[in-house]
């Protein structure tokens, strides 16, 4: 009997049109249970059978009946209980589970509870006194809107890692919390919390000179964002050896244009290795810092530019034009200029803030020129759908990433769909394999495609005939 490929079985497990009797047959297969366990249409006997084989996968299913969730809450494996928190809803039954998990013997379960926005506030507040500092630190990082008494408890925690998490320069959620003013002096005195407190200090009562020369670059960087910083100290930080500190000065609203241009050149230009008098570790940190500038510029928000965009429409720095493009109040002419900006991120920002639909020509250009800094599934065509005539034209586009869009037309002509199903690019065939108008013959061919990801997409297609599935399962003895 031939073995069925894993991806074929996993695709079947994801297929929303799979008949119930075939779900039962898949339960006998040795793999793919994670995909099968996520189905919303599983019966209680099917779920019970899966629990015996992969309780963790079942616990991630958001459609479990309450009695099964209660059963899994007593599972001896902490990862199963963590999965129940991940898949929790706002139901009364889950409130009871949260109560139980707040006193769970496994710190990892309580840590997941601290991170979850679904955890009721009263139970979450209880975790500020959890015996495990990792749980308290997680709470400090994830619950940024905690009531002030909870924040105070975390900011004054006896464990340094908790205080550092509660008064950091980075949090896991927005908005970032501001420490109470009366705690700031003590937070500045603590090396673990100094960087997080520097941006909130009172210039009249703080030794700014000392902060500006602090050996920790995160402290200097945070200080560089302080709105009350004297010009002399801004100038000193503009010459800081760390690129991210100089970037913070660059983005201040009071930095003169000429100085901003010089700073921009210094943080975006080629990295210049330090002299031989700099030790190897510091040299590595300087280079890493310089690399980080690119990421920071991509993620940076400048609300003061967005609030007053017109002076920045012609900025030589894309980050400023992008911030200007984010304004919803741009005049039509200004928005048109920014939509045509040579920097794709600027044009995308203008599209996102536009109150009017984006025309097809611009929408296609936004997608064609999109080159994200990190791999992501999202692309501009997801937000600005292209018309049918464009999608059909793209079926013959020389760029595979543009041909990928053609199957988004649900009525794609049969000849174009057949061509895409045989495309030399695997990712194009994978996109075609999900099309609802595929013929049984094309689906059979895609099920036998050399690419596992294409096989999986074809097996998950609701148009796949049940007889074809039965025949393959029969041949494999399943």
Whole-Å CA distances, 385 to 372, 392, 416, 428: 19, 13, 19, 18
Specify the pLDDT at position 280.
Answer: 82
Is residue 185's pLDDT more than 80? yes
Do the domain assignments include residue 468? yes
Do the domain assignments include residue 105? no
Whole-Å CA distances, 121 to 105, 115, 132, 175, 472: 20, 12, 19, 17, 51
Tokens 């119930």 correspond to 20
Query: Is there a contact between 409 and 391 (Cβ–Cβ < 8 Å)?
Result: yes
Tokens 């700073």 correspond to 263
> pLDDT digit string (tens) for 408-425?
999 999 999 999 999 999
Do the domain assignments include residue 327? yes
Q: Which of 319, 353, 385 is the last residue of a domain?
A: 385
Give the mean pLDDT of 351-366: 97
Query: Is there a contact between 442 and 421 (Cβ–Cβ < 8 Å)?
Result: yes
Q: What is the DSSP letter of 406?
A: G
Q: How many helices (H) and strands (E) are present in the chain, helices listed first?
A: 33, 0
> pLDDT digit string (tens) for 21-57?
999 888 887 666 788 898 999 999 999 989 988 899 9
DSSP string of 53-117, one letter each residue: HHHHHHHT-TT--HHHHHHHHT-S-HHHHHHHHHT--SSHHHHHHHHHHTT-S-HHHHHHHHH-T
Do the domain assignments include residue 168? no
Please choose, from the candidates 235, 185, 178, 230, the residue with its C-alpha nearest in 3D space to the C-alpha of residue 205: 185
Q: Which of 385, 414, 430 is the last residue of a domain?
A: 385
Domain count across the chain: 3
Pairwise CA distance, residues 220 & 237, whole Å: 7
Is residue 257's pLDDT more than 80? yes
Specify the pLDDT at position 308.
Answer: 97
Residues 310 and 351 placed together within one structural domain of the fold: yes
Give 124's contacts (C-beta < 8 A, 6+ positions apart): 113, 114, 139, 143, 146, 150
Residues 360 and 454 placed together within one structural domain of the fold: no
Q: Which of 356, 385, 414 is the last residue of a domain?
A: 385
Residues 305 and 294 placed together within one structural domain of the fold: no
Both structure tokens of 253? 């609203």
Please choose, from the candidates 120, 114, 117, the residue with its C-alpha nearest in 3D space to the C-alpha of residue 136: 114
Residues 371 and 448 placed together within one structural domain of the fold: no
Give 398's contacts (C-beta < 8 A, 6+ positions apart): none
Q: Which domain holds residue 218?
A: 197-268+282-299
> pLDDT digit string (tens) for 206-227?
999 999 999 999 999 999 999 9
Helical (H) or strand (E) element with 284: helix 280-299
Do the domain assignments include residue 29? no
Do the domain assignments include residue 131? no
Query: Is there a contact between 313 and 336 (Cβ–Cβ < 8 Å)?
Result: no
pTM for the full model?
A: 0.89
């Amino acid at each position: 009997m031939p073995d069925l490929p894993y991806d074929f079985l996993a695709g079947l497990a994801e297929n929303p049109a799979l008949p119930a009797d075939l779900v039962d047959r898949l339960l006998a297969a040795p793999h793919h249970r994670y995909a099968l366990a996520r189905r919303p249409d599983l019966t209680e006997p099917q779920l019970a059978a899966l629990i015996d084989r992969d309780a963790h996968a079942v616990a991630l299913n958001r459609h479990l009946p309450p009695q099964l969730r209660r059963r899994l809450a007593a599972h001896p494996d902490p990862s199963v209980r963590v999965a129940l928190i991940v898949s929790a809803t706002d139901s009364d039954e889950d409130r009871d589970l949260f109560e139980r998990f707040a006193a769970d013997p496994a710190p990892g379960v309580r840590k997941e509870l601290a991170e979850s926005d679904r955890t009721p506030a009263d139970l979450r507040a209880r975790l500020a006194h959890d015996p495990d500092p990792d749980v308290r630190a997680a709470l400090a990082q994830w619950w940024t809107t905690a009531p002030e008494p909870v924040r105070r408890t975390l900011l004054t925690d006896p464990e340094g890692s908790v205080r550092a998490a509660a008064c950091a320069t980075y949090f896991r959620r927005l908005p970032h919390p501001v420490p109470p003013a009366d705690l700031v002096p003590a937070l500045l005195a603590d090396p673990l919390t100094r960087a997080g407190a520097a941006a909130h200090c009172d210039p009249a009562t703080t030794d700014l000179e000392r902060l500006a020369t602090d050996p920790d670059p995160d402290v200097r960087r945070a200080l560089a964002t302080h709105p009350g910083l004297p010009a002399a100290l801004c100038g000193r930080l503009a010459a800081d050896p760390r690129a991210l500190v100089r970037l913070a000065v660059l983005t201040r609203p009071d930095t003169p244009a000429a100085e901003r241009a010089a700073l921009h050149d210094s943080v975006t230009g080629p990295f210049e290795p330090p002299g031989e008098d700099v030790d190897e570790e510091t040299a590595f940190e300087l280079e890493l810092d310089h690399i980080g500038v690119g990421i920071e510029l991509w993620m940076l928000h400048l609300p003061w530019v967005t609030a007053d965009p017109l002076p920045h429409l012609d900025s030589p720095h894309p980050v400023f034009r992008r911030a200007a493009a984010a304004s919803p109040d741009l005049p039509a002419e200004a928005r048109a200029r920014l939509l045509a900006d040579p920097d794709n991120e600027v044009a995308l920002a203008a599209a996102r803030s536009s109150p009017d639909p984006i025309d097809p020509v611009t929408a296609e250009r936004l997608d064609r020129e999109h080159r994200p800094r990190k791999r992501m599934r999202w692309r501009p065509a997801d937000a600005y759908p292209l018309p049918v005539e464009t999608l059909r034209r793209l079926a013959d586009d020389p760029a595979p990433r543009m041909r990928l869009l053609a199957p988004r037309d649900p009525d794609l002509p049969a000849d174009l769909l057949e061509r895409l199903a045989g495309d030399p690019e695997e990712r194009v065939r994978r996109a075609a394999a999900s099309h609802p108008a595929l013929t049984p013959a094309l689906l059979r061919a895609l099920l036998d495609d050399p690419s596992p990801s294409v096989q999986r997409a074809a097996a998950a297609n609701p148009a796949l005939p049940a007889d074809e599935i039965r025949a393959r399962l029969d041949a494999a003895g399943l």
